Copies of this chain bind each other. A is one copy, B any other.
Amino acid sequence: MASKIAPLSGFPELLPADRAVERQVVETLSRTFELHGFANIETRVVEPLDRLAKGGEIDKEIYVLRRLQAGDEDGDSGLGLHFDLTVPFARYVLEHAGHLEFPFRRFQIQPAWRGERPQEGRYRQFTQADVDIVGKDVLPFHHDVEVMRVMVDALDALPIPPVSFQFNNRKLIQGFYRGLGLPDVTTAIRTIDKLDKLPAEQVAALLVSDAGATPEQAQRCLELATIRVADTSFVDRVRALGVEDELLDEGLVELAAVVEGCSAGDHRHVSVEANLRIARGLDYYTGTVVEIFMEGYERLKSVGGGGRYDALATDGRSTYPGVGVSFGVSRSLIPLLADGVLAGSRPVPSAVLVAVADEETRAQSTAVATALRARGIPCEVAASAQKFGKQIRYAERRGIPYVWFPGEAHEVKDIRSGDQVAADPADWTPPIEDLRPQVLVKETEK
């Protein structure tokens, strides 16, 4: 194959050192999810087109699969690449319901695909990490707190800039609007969702013209939407607006429980807020909603989000309510890596390069490597028996911290400090931080 290679726009690929960072992020997420009892699943990447179509409407950005050179009659497979992990999860639950125990806790970390125009944080292939809890017919509210708390703990363990979980509750909004006497609650929610794009007066005007609100009602809607606090004091502030509604009461209790449950304990860099203008446009949310933002990367909009849906799936006999939250692994990591905020300390797993004095003694060097590996120390043997100075530079270029010189008396050199000491392949161990590539974090300016 000889031809010029150009990168494919929207399909980012990582060099090995950056990939080491991504792997550690995925590993940390997985470990936290598993500590909370979430089982991993992996779904096939394709779904039938009618399943990818939401409510009969097929989005333009789906990639459809066709078998090359197959006749017209069977070329079109009727399959498309999934564009998120929720649609395949819903299908998985329905298909395998008889073999699953409910409530079913699962996490899934896989790529998804959208044919949309690429931009920073938006790719045609991107990896997401989703956690969901799904029940059969019923799913108690406390699982909302549980699943959100898992993601709080998971992101708190990552080497990323501070993130903010901004919670709201659809019952709270709907109940408030209903109690207020708004004629068209759905349109009002969609209109308020534009507050991050349009000035408040314009949104107020739209509430009047499109959602049938009176100017006073519109004003109350804006007052509700400006409430944003890091504790449960929003309850009193909403009450002070004087709207009475049962659904509103329920929403207030739920939101307070989520904010309290997610704030409890010490977090390194996750903050939790009630932000009453978060609505999430999607129709299927019915209670808790959340959007996640990353400090210094507000231009990416949210790096994650999710919420409660009363019908993730239904098969006619049973309905499967769920609650879940998704984190955009590619969306957040690729800009962080591109900006140098995160970097891998080296592009190879090797902590040690075992030098080779001459090709005749390569077996001796291999034996040293075998002894080190048996004790969990990643290493490689030098590719050729060059002068030791060249072998040290070979290690340097790869960021390998130690070079081992086999012999009657073995020695190992820390090539960063230049220190060289006698060592035994049967018991020498590097400091734990040198064992595998580290994630280097550049302090960002405030």
List residues of A whose CB falls within 8 A of some B CB: 1-5, 7-8, 11-16, 19-20, 22-23, 34-46, 48-51, 58-70, 77, 79-81, 90-92, 94-96, 99-101, 103, 105-106, 111, 113, 115, 125, 140, 142-143, 146, 265, 313-316, 347-350, 359, 362, 370, 373, 376-381, 383-384, 397-398, 436
Contact = CB atoms under 8 A, between A and B. Distances in A.
B46 A5 contact: no
Given A35-B373, A77-B115, A146-B381, A41 B14 contact: yes
7 contacts: A22-B42, A35-B377, A36-B378, A59-B68, A63-B68, A66-B66, A140-B383
Copies in the complex: 2
Nearest to A1: B313
Contact of A378 (B35, B378, B398): B35
Given A2-B314, A94-B5, A37 B349 contact: yes
A288 to B, nearest CB: 17
Given A40-B20, A378-B36, A370 B265 contact: yes
A174 to B, nearest CB: 23
A397 B101 CA distance: 8
A273 to B, nearest CB: 22
A105 B380 contact: yes
B111 A45 contact: yes
Contact of A64 (B19, B68, B94, B143): B68
Contacts of A66: 63-66
Closest 5 CB pairs of A and B: A37-B380, A37-B350, A34-B349, A11-B44, A16-B39
A157 B18 CA distance: 28
Contact of A380 (B36, B58, B436): B36
A115 B19 contact: no
A22 B39 CA distance: 13
Contact of A16 (B40, B94, B113, B265): B40
Given A2-B315, A19-B41, A91-B5, A68 B58 contact: yes
